[in-house]
Structure 1
Amino acid sequence: MRIIVPLCAAALLLGCNEHSESTPFQAKFDEQLFRQDLKTLSSDAFEGRAPTTHGEQMTLDYLSAAFKRIGFAPAANGSYLQKVPMVSYTASDDEQVTLADLPLKYRDDIVLNSRHDVSEVAIDNAPLVFVGYGINAPEYDWNDYQGLDMRGKIAVILVNDPGFAAPDSGKFAGKAMTYYGRWTYKYEEASRQGALGAIIIHDTAPASYPWSVVEHSWTGPQQDLAGDKKDYRVAVEGWMTKDAATQVFKKSGLDLHSASERAAHGPIQLPLEQTASIHFNNSAVYADSYNVVATLKGTAAAEEHILVTGHWDHLGKDDTLEGDQIFNGAMDNASGVSGMLALARQFVAAANAGQPLQRSVTFVVTTGEEQGLLGSRYYAEHPLYPLANTIGVFNLDSTNIFGRTKDYTIVGKGKSELELYLQKATSDMQRIAKAESHPESGGYFRSDHFSFAKFGVPAVFAGGGSEPVDKTTADYKQQILRLEKGCYHNTCDEYHEEWDLSGTFEDLQVYFNAISLLGNSQARPGYYQGTEFYQLRPESGISLK
């Protein structure tokens, strides 16, 4: 079936009436309010917005008050807060780890955790097995665990998937990472295989981030969703540096580079004939965190919802650091949350101007994204509105501070018909919608929209671009790139007055126009045939004309 969505003079907000002479609502984003939200949320007073901390309570209060002031209604039984039961696991800093008789230094060489409510992790002489990329993917005729008994053993795993190392081999999706390349999948699969532990070998290029990101993200409390877990989880999981792995392989009489090349061209199981001994104390603390959920009710199709998602949480503070101890998370993701509030203001302004959407728009500001998309996972499993009536998800995770661009990036482009609305909005603004320049980083699987994609809800993550509009903007971009270098998941991710937000507002305009068009349509986008989620909600043949 092909669904034709008419576009008319008022298509962006009145697409239901092909002959309407009304003027489309023109969003006017308030830069002063945006900067105020951004500065406040990323200030030291919010202590890095870690879940279950004082910083969380400040964030929840701020966002609840903001949505009430804007005019969005609370979505959780009269409250803006959806409870997300969490547990925080903390491994002691004095981890004692020996691999292949080599003592490895905590933080410098290795970081390990246990997502079990145990007071101590004590593993002695557990065999190490190199399982290549640690993938079991029948659709790719690939199984690194075929016939292998992993009980009592620790899997040593490469980051990313075979397509990254051998892009011309036709395996997986080439340079573009599949979900099998994500660290979350690798721990899940090792657990399904009954492994005692799983350690990923970090390598900056295929991981798309340096070791410092692992060090900061994987030390201190590690949060997860609380509740009974039916599936087994490995007893210990974590990362080690490529240099440490090279030495471990050398002790085994093997070469890591050669083994990695073999792993890229076919499934591999390589007992290292070496063992691991791991000892550290562990604690588990249970506490509730919260998503902030706010709705602007639609008119003719109020039971159908378009979600706008973005995470409020960041990494909190680390008292062990000298100097700056607060991970302010200005870009990641105070900027995205500020963008959500800016969009919310414009949808209310449109409604007040007599141009409301037929479908409801619901903003879900999530907790625990940095710990594995926890808040969005919880919402997708416990939706406040049925997923069957959730038409699409637009995700905001960091905004464009690098100036206006000729192009517009759709991460994971080619997934669903939801992208048609972004492409239409982009084209109307004389910009060109393109896929991300580094699909090997697996961006589509790294933010909150993915939690909904796994249930078949069309979900997009877009914004920014790689082509500045002019030389002045290009020079400015290079200046800001130097300023922000190394700040991802670091204490220097802080707000700067000199940020040019013109690109931010152009990107927000794309989202506003796309959501408006979808909000007044009867179409129900689906996933394209050949994608991972087609069977869950197939494409419906939408054509925007």
Structure 2
Amino acid sequence: MKKVTLLAFSAAFAVNACAQQNPTAMKYGKLISAEDAKRHLSILASDAFEGRETGKPGAEKAANYIAGEFKKLGLQAPVNGSYFFDVPLVQSVLKVSAFTVNGKAFTLGEDFFPNGSVSDNSIKASDVVFVGYGTESEIGSTDLAGKIVLWINEDKPEAGKTANTAPRMSTARTAIVKNLQSKNPAAIVAANGELTAMLKRYGRNVTSPRLTIKEDVKAPKAAVPVFMVTPAVADELVKSTGKTYADLKAAATTTPVVTTKADFVATYGNERSDVKAVDVVGFMPGTDLKDEVLVFSAHYDHIGLVNDPNAKDKVNNGADDDGSGTTGILEIARAFSQAKKDGHGPRRSVLFLGNVGEEKGLLGSEYYTDHPIYPLANTITDLNIDMIGRVGEEYIGKADSANYVYPIGSAMLSKDLHDIGEKANDTYTHLKLDYKYDDPNDPNRFYYRSDHYNFAKHGVPIIFYFNGVHADYHQPGDEVSKINFPLLAKRAQLVFYTGWELANRDKKPVVDGK
């Protein structure tokens, strides 16, 4: 009797679970296929698109391809009949004529680089103040005005906690820099022990031209420059103390402030020119809730050609980053478009947004959210896809390596949205949802590193879908041959099912977070 009762209960539960699935959503979700994804990505991440660098011919080719697909799907062209939303950018090439300490010259991209954009400037100073980890309690009443501030660009060690020592600045470190800048030093020199290795791999990227939104260039913010430097530069700055930077760092918890002398000279300027760039937008109007808009976003740009004349592979194809996300958007758009043709269009309007300039600082999404085609007050959610085609380094060899995704940010602004995403997965896709990086204080800062963040800044709830980094991240090896297309399709299906619910439910997600 117990076995019969248990079996009957299990059968009833299975029927109930199936009943929760929306057959219409499932019909169109199944249109998202590995085969069609491969067709798109084999074009977008081909050598012919030259790595899709913003402002280059390859990015223009990609934009035209996406717009052509939007047109085939019957999406509306919402920019005065165009799928292209102009993003006015300016290219700045930093020219450094001098960066010396005690007459010793250091090289941009090998020994140092500026953090963010810098205005034309010439700095000469001889007073250097080592400020340890730069907290207010360490600095005290020390006068920093007009001096070179040498700062440990790492999180301060805490008992029982592993400190983040990576060069990428955390939220806490960014706040420290702003406080140091408020004390009007001549420059802040941010030293980090891991920077030497990082520059060996990515040094050519930091010396490449920098893009900014044009209106920002018209009124540049006067800020104290911050230079990221290797220990070699820091050693020269503290040479007259008879100690190394490592010595001062080791003693920083007991002797956080050390003043010394060094002849520091930095002279640099920018050469500027306008750059053509566009976001690609396709619009599907809703029915009874058409004034509310759901956004699916992915950036179609990548980092372009390899900046090394001796490289055998000349193209950073960006198949995963973010050809996979762009492909996911095209697949989701196809599913929604077929549903609409069959009389099952969404209640809310849907905007498919291909962002440009993500690799240059989230520029396309920043410009869109500052100049939205549809009011952000009516934008209910941004579902952003950035890298869903590979197995990240932490899942290689694991049993669930082909059945996971990292969702980031789903609960930061809306518990409703988090629950909707969870339910969509439980109902349809059954991926492992790994929330390891779902933390604004995560040292990798993934929450801040893709286009969803510009929506979140304006209070729009978001979910960011991500497979984690791998050895080919920002390398020529990020090619189509390494993409797991069934996994890409399944992850895109999760985004589709989440979006289907958002586009058709009675109520939009409640915003209850900061």
Normalising by structure 1, what TM-score? 0.76
Q: Which segment is superposed worse, 46-55 or 411-420?
A: 411-420
| 1:329 maps to which of 318, 332, 338 | 318
Matched, 1:283 2:271: yes
Instruction: Note the residue ranges of structure 2 that are not aligned, 5 or more in a row.
Output: 1-16, 392-399
* Residue in 2 that maps onto 1:473: none
Does the CA-based 8 Å contact 1:305-1:391 persist in structure 2?
yes
Residue 215 of structure 1 is matched in structure 2 by: 203
Change (3 A) 1:117 1:109: closer
Task: Please give the alpha-carbon distance, in whole angstroms, between the structure 2 residues aligned to 1:174 and 1:103.
Answer: 26
Match of 2:476 among 491, 496, 502: 491
SS of 1:98 mapped into structure 2: strand
The question of 1:96 aligning with 2:98 is answered yes
Supply the AA of the counterpart residue of 1:433.
L
Aligned to 2:11: none
- Residue 461 (structure 1) aligns with: 464
Q: Is 2:149 the partner of 1:180?
A: no
2:493 corresponds in structure 1 to: 509
- CA offsets 1:200-219 (integer angstroms, 9 cap, x no match): 43454xx9x93345413311
Q: What is the aligned partner in structure 2 of residue 44 from structure 1?
A: 47
Residue of structure 2 in register with 1:241 after alignment? 230
2:163 is the counterpart of 1:166: no
Amino acid at match of 2:477: C
The CA deviation string for residues 6-62 of structure 1, in whole angstroms up to 9 with x for no partner, is x99476588xxxxxxx97644322323322322222222222222222222212211
CA RMSD, 1 decimal = 3.9
Q: Percent identity?
A: 26
Q: CA deviation at 1:368?
A: 1.4
Q: State the Cα deviation string for residues 326-354 of structure 1 (Å, max 9, x = none).
A: 33222211221111111111111222333
Distance 1:311 1:317 in 2: 17
Give the AA of the match of 2:500. Answer: S
Rounded to whole Å, the distance in 2 between the matches of 1:488 and 1:447 is 14
Aligned 1:313-462 pairs, distance under 5 A: 313-318=301-306, 320-323=308-311, 324-402=313-391, 405-412=402-409, 414-416=411-413, 417=415, 418-428=417-427, 429-436=429-436, 439-462=442-465
Deviations along 1:99-142, one digit per CA (max 9) or x if unpaired, are 35543233322234884675xx432226544555668xxxxxx7
What per-residue deviation string (whole Å, max 9, x for no partner) do you get for residues 475-498 of structure 1?
xxxxxx9xx62x3223333332x5
What displacement does 1:155 show? Answer: 4.6
1:227–1:250 Cα change, 3 Å: same
Greater C-alpha Rg: 2
Matches within 5 A, 1:32-181: 32-92=35-95, 95-99=97-101, 102-112=104-114, 115=117, 118=120, 121-125=121-125, 127-130=127-130, 152-159=146-153, 161-162=155-156, 165-166=157-158, 168=160, 180=171
| Distance in 2 of aligned mates of 1:311 and 1:192 | 35
CA distance in 1, matches of 2:72, 2:131: 54
CA distance in 1, matches of 2:79, 2:176: 34
1:201 equivalent in alignment to 2:200? no
The answer to whether the 8 Å contact 2:404/2:431 transfers is yes
Aligned to 1:542: none
Q: Which residue of 2 aligns with 1:308?
A: 296
Could you say if the C-alpha distance between residues 33 and 432 of structure 1 is closer, same or farther in structure 2, counting changes exceeding 3 Å? Answer: closer
Cα distance, 1:419–1:325 mapped onto 2, change above 3 Å: same
The CA distance in 2 between the partners of 1:167 and 1:82, in whole Å, is 50
Q: Take 1:327 and 1:170, find their aligned partners in 2: how far apart are those partners?
A: 34
Amino acid at match of 2:478: D
**Aligned equivalents of 1:98, 1:522: Cα separation in 2:** 63
Following TM superposition, by how much is the alpha carbon of 1:189 offset from its aligned partner in structure 2, in angstroms?
6.5
Deviations 1:427-476 (A, max 9, x none): 223334231269321110111111111111112212448xxxxxxxxxxx
For residues 143 and 287 of structure 1, the distance between their equivalents in structure 2, rounded to whole angstroms, comes to 45
* Displacement of 1:243: 4.8
Q: Give the secondary-structure state (helix, strand or coil) at the position aligned to 1:304.
A: strand
Name the structure with the higher helix share: 2
**CA gap 1:253/1:327 in 2 versus in 1, 3 angstroms:** farther
For 1:520, the aligned partner's letter is N
**Aligned-partner Cα distance in 2 for 1:363–1:126:** 54
- Contact 2:119–2:220 (Cα < 8 Å) also in 1: no
Find the residue that maps to 1:111 and give its secondary structure.
Answer: strand
- Amino acid in structure 1 at the alignment position of 2:206: W
Q: Could you tell me which residue of structure 2 aligns to residue 17 of structure 1?
A: none
**SS of equivalent residue, structure 1 residue 440:** coil
Structure 2 SS opposite 1:73: coil
Unpaired stretches in structure 1, ≥5 consecutive residues = 1-6, 15-21, 136-141, 466-480, 535-545
What is the match of residue 294 of structure 1? 282
1:49–1:59 Cα contact (<8 Å) kept: yes
SS in 2 for 1:409: strand
How far apart, in 2, do the equivalents of 1:132 and 1:38 lie? 48
CA contact (8 A) 2:133 2:155 kept: yes
**Change over 3 Å in CA distance of 1:125–1:79 after alignment to 2:** same
Using the alignment, how far apart are the partners of 1:494 and 1:406 within structure 2? 21
SS at match of 2:381: strand
Q: Secondary structure at the match of 2:30?
A: coil
Q: After TM superposition, give the deviation of residue 149 of structure 1 in Å.
A: 6.5
